[in-house]
Amino acid sequence: MKKIASELLVERLIEWGVDTVFGLPGDGINGIMEALRRNRDRIRFVLVHHEEAAAFMATGHAKATGQIGVCLATSGPGGIHLLNGLYDAKLDHQPVLALTGMQETQLLGTGYQQEVHLEKLFEDVASYDVMIHTPAQIPSLVDLAVRNCLANRTVSHITFPNDVQIADAETPPPGGPAPARAPASAPVFIPAPGVPREADLRRAADVLNAGKKVAILAGAGALGATAELRQVATALGAPIVKTLSGKGCFPDDDPLAVGGIGLLGTDAGEASMELCDTLFMVGTNFPYTKHLPSSARTVQVDISAFRAGNRVPTEVPLVGDARETLAALAPLLKSRRKHRFLEERQEEMRHWREKLETQADPSRTPIQPQYLMALIDRHASNDAILSSDSGTIATWAARQWTIRGDRRFMLSGNLATMAPGLPYTLAAQLAFPERQCIAFVGDGGFAMLMAEFLTAVRHDLPVKVFIDNNHSYGQILWEQMVLGYPEYGVRHNGIANYADYAQSNGGLAFRIDDPADLEAAVKAALDHPGPALVDCLTNANEPPLPAKVTYEQAKGFAEAFLRGQPHKATIASTLFRDKLAELKA
C-alpha cells in the first residue's frame, strides 16, 4: 500500500512526541483519519462528540501536561466549531495545534459545499496559520507550527485539502523559479534562556530589598515554581497572593499563602494589594487593574517581554522563566527579621477560613454550593486534578478547593468561557490515568457539552463530575443586580435531571436535594472505579460576594431590589442567614 501524504503529517507529529489527537471525523479529513489508523499503535485518536470539546481537550491536555495539545476537525462546520476552545488556548497561552480539512484544491473558489476558507477564519486565533499545497511541504510546515506553539505559547493551525491528504507521499513539488529547494527542517525545539540579565536581577533585588511591605502576586506562569516562591517569600517576609489561574502554583495550607485577588479573592489577598509598598508579580498578567496597588513600586517576572510591565507602571520588568528567575534572584535578597506585614495578613486569613466554614453549613436547605465544594475538597485525594467551569462555580472552587500535596487546578482563565470543565477533566484523565480527575461544573456549563459524559463512559474514563445545579446563570444574575438592574433571562423554568441521563448511559449517578445525603454521595462518587456524576440541587440565591463589598456594589444591589428584583425575599433571607452564621462563629 502506497504511503499517502497524510502519513507525513502524522509521522512528524509522532516525532515531536505527540501521542494523542482529540477530534471528530468527517469527509474533509478522511485522508488524515486513514493516516491515524495506519499509525494507531503509536498515536491515539480520541473520538469526542463535539469539535468544541476536542479543542477544549487539547487545551486541557496542554495545561495538565505542559506539552502541545492537538485537535482535529473536518472542513467547514467542523473547523468552525473548534474556535471557542482555540481562543481559550490562545488567551491562556497554551500550545495547541489545530488540524482541519479543506475542499480539494481544484474546487477552491467555486463556492463548493462546505467551502469555508479556514485559513482566513483562523487568522486571529492562530499566529501560525497555513494551508498545505504539496506533500513536500508537510514535515517542515508541521515543524514550524509546533515550534510556534512551543516558543510563543499559542495556537497554530494547519488546514489540509483532502485531495492533497490522499496524494502519494512521494509526489514531487511542481518546482519554480525561486532559488530554493523544497523545505527541509528537523523536529527540534530548544527553549530560549530562562534567566534575565545579571544587571536586571540586581535592579530587581534593590527594589525588593528596599520594600517594607512586600507582597507577591503569583499567576499561572509560576506553576512549577513552588519551592522558589517559598524561598523568595520567606526572605522578603511577603504574603503570596494567587490569581485564579495560578491557584495551583503554591499550597493553600502554607502559612505564606493568603488566598486570591479580585472578586473571587480573600480579605487577606485584598489587604495585601491595598497596603503593600512593593509588589512582586510573578508569572501573571492579571487584567483587573482596579485590584492592583496604584502607587507601589513594582517588579514583574514574565516569560514575554511584551507582557512584562503592561498592567501597572513597572520599575523592573524581568523577562524570563519564573522558576529560573526566582532561583537566580533569591541569593540577592536580604532576609528580614521582622514580618509584621505578613503576620497581619496571616491573622486575616485565619478569620477568613473561619468565615468559609460557616458558609459551608451542612444543615442549611437548600444545599449551600459552598458545602458541596467543601465536601469534594475534604474527600478528594491529595493528587487530584480539579477543573472548574466559569461563573459562580469558579468562586466556590477558588475559595473551597484547597491546593495541598500534588493537587492541581484548571479553568478558563482569560477567556472565562463556559463548558470547559468536563473536557479538561477528560483530557487530564487520559494523560494521568492513575490520578483522580474531577469536574466541578454548573448546570449551565454542563448542559452545553453534556454529551462528553458519553465520551467518558465510552472511553472508560473514571472521571468524577459534580454539578452545582441551581437552574440559573448565577454570575450574570448577580452582575445584573450589582448594576442596579433586576435579574432578567437568567433562570430556566424547571430543573433538569442530569443524574438520570448519566445513569442511563452507564455512569454511576446521584441526584441530591437533601444536605444529609450529600456527603455519602460525594464519597461514593469519588470511590467509584468508573465515571460518576453527582447532580446536586443547590441554593440559587446564594450570592458570590467579594471579600470586600464596595459602596457602588451595595448601592446597585439595593437599586435592583427597589426596581422589582424577583426572588428578593429568598435572596434577603439567604444573606441574613449567611451573616448570622458568620456572627455565631
In angstroms, the CA 353 to CA 269 distance is 13
Helix (H, G, I), strand (E, B) or coil at 535: strand
* Buried b / exposed e along 65-82 (16+ C-beta atoms within 10 A): bebbbbbbbbbbebbbbb
Give the H/E segment covering residue 282.
strand 278-282
Average pLDDT (54-70) is: 98
- Percent helix, percent strand, percent coil in the chain, to nearest 5: 45, 15, 40
What's the mean pLDDT in 538-567? 90
Side-chain-side CA neighbours of 48 within 13 Å: the count stands at: 29
CA torsion 130-136-138-139 (nearest 10°) is -130
Q: Using one digit for the tens of pLDDT, what is the confidence trace for 17-52?
A: 999 999 999 999 999 999 999 999 999 999 999 999
pLDDT of 191 > 70? The answer is yes
Calculate mean pLDDT across residues 471-478. 94
Contacts of 25 (CB under 8 A, 6+ apart): 33, 47, 74
Residue 159, strand partner residues: 100, 131
In Å, how far from its chain's centre is CA 363?
33
Domain locations in the chain as residue ranges? 5-165, 198-345, 360-584
pLDDT one-digit tens code per residue, 401-430: 999 999 999 999 999 999 999 999 999 999
Q: Give the pLDDT band of residue 337 (cuts 50, 70, 90).
A: confident
Q: Do domains 5-165 and 198-345 have the same CATH topology?
A: yes
- pLDDT interval class at 372 (50, 70, 90): very high
Phi, psi of 96 (to 5 degrees): -135, 135
Rounded to whole angstroms, the Cα distance separating 222 from 32 reads 37
pLDDT at 575: 81
Average pLDDT, the chain: 96
Topology classification of domain 360-584: Rossmann fold (3.40.50)
pLDDT at 326: 98
What is the arithmetic mean of pLDDT over 426-437?
A: 98
Average pLDDT over residues 425-453: 98
Q: Could you tell me the CATH superfamily of domain 5-165?
A: Thiamin diphosphate (ThDP)-binding fold, Pyr/PP domains (3.40.50.970)
pLDDT over threshold 70, residue 152? yes
Strand partners, 297: 278
What is the 8-class DSSP label of residue 183?
Answer: P
Q: 73 Cβ partners below 8 Å, 6+ apart?
A: 23, 24, 26, 29, 51, 54, 79, 81, 82, 98, 99, 100, 101
Question: What pLDDT was estimated at residue 155?
Answer: 98
Q: Please give the average per-residue pLDDT across 203-217, as a whole number.
A: 98
Residue 183 pLDDT class (50, 70, 90 cuts): confident
The CATH-assigned architecture of domain 198-345 is: 3-Layer(aba) Sandwich (3.40)
Residue 522, Cα to own-chain centre: how many angstroms? 24
Strands (E), 7-162: 20-23, 44-47, 69-73, 96-102, 128-131, 155-161
Tell me: pLDDT of 195 over 80: yes
| Residue 584 cell numbers, joined | 455565631
For residues 253 and 349, what is the distance between their CA atoms, to the nearest angstrom?
11
To 10 degrees, what angle do helices 198-210 and 322-329 make?
70
The pLDDT of residue 256 is above 70: yes
The answer to whether the pTM exceeds 0.85 is yes
User: Mean per-residue pLDDT for 179-183?
Assistant: 82
The whole-number pLDDT of residue 585 equals: 66
